Amino acid sequence: MAIVTMGNRPKDVDALLAAVAKQDVAPTRLVVVGNGTPLPEFPTYPGEVTAIELDENLGCPGGRNVALRRLREFGDVDVAIELDDDGLLVDPDAFRTVQRLFTEDSRLGIVGFRIADENGETQRRHVPRLRAKDPMRGGLVTSFLGGAHAFSMEMLAETGDWPADFFFTHEETDLAWRALDAGWKVLYEPSLLLQHPKTSPARHAVYHRMTARNRVWLARRRLPLPLVPLYLTVWTLLTLARTRSLGGLRAWAGGFVEGFRTPGGERRPMRWATVWRMTRLGRPPLI
């Protein structure tokens, strides 16, 4: 299991570790990464914690890659669970459920948890499907929630880890598309609950710029060429309709241009069979 923190939520991390300690199936290994920050002691967790302090903030995907590499070095981890540092496990059988799901299906690559606030409300953006009115409807999907999920380590060995250059936003989509293209399944399991404060991604100063830049990178890296302009056109129209801030739109436009001017990583477009598979799952790679 892995947690990445910037050191600004010590009480939340303590509470999460206390909840992990109450799980009826204990994690084989527990890694906490200080993303550009020193780490304190963790008195609320009775077991061994592997603490890794990074000199600089590598972003969400970069910090998680460090944790995954350490878990891989142990040699006895088959499934990696990653949780946001301000989340809280509510039910004591979450890890047992994860264990069961991966045991039952050898081609299960990713399991996404349900995220809800302290009142039990799940924000629409946290349901990884288009028809998102019912967050309790689980099943196979085409993406997952970065705040709470589990990976097959065998899948990661085949598809690769997080796209570290993304730093923030859309890294989940890039990883999920690679998993789907390699024939792995992505499951949204709402019985797995992470309690998480209600937030807006726009609270981060870099949100609009990186959202646009990474969207372009994602299209350039993963989509068949005919779909690239269609995908970006759809998301441009959605952004113009949804964004109320002129400053946000300016930052978004700058990021959009940056996405074309800068290297987006190796281009490995998904197969058309994967496009069709995603379409049958209810979310073609356009929206």
Q: How many CB atoms lie within 10 A of CB 218?
A: 26
Residue with tokens 């739109």: 249
**For residue 108, what is the DSSP state?**
E
Task: Identify the DSSP state of 264.
Answer: -
Domains in the chain: ranges and CATH: 2-199 (3.90.550.60), 202-269 (no CATH)
Query: Residue 195's beta-bridge partner residues?
Result: 88, 116
Instruction: Give CA–CA dist 157/77, Å, rounded.
Output: 12
Q: Where are the beta strands (DSSP E) in 37-87?
A: 50-53, 79-84
Would you state the pLDDT for residue 198?
Answer: 84
- Quick one: tokens of 90? 């509510």
Rounded to whole angstroms, how far apart are CA atoms 135 and 122? 7
pLDDT digits (tens, 9 = 90+) for 141-192: 999 999 999 999 999 999 999 999 999 999 999 999 999 999 999 999 999 9
Kindly report, residue by residue over 231-245, the tens digit of the pLDDT: 999 999 999 998 888
Q: What is the pLDDT of residue 66?
A: 98
Secondary structure, 3-state, 193-237: EEECCCCCHHHCCCHHHHHHHHHHHHHHHHCCCCHHHHHHHHHHH
CA gap 239, 102 in Å, rounded: 37
pLDDT lower than 70: segments of the chain: 200-205
Task: Measure the CA–CA gap between 222 and 214, rounded to whole angstroms.
Answer: 12
pTM for the complete prediction? 0.95
Contact assessment for residue 28 and residue 58, using Cβ atoms and an 8 Å cutoff? no
Q: What is the pLDDT of residue 133?
A: 82
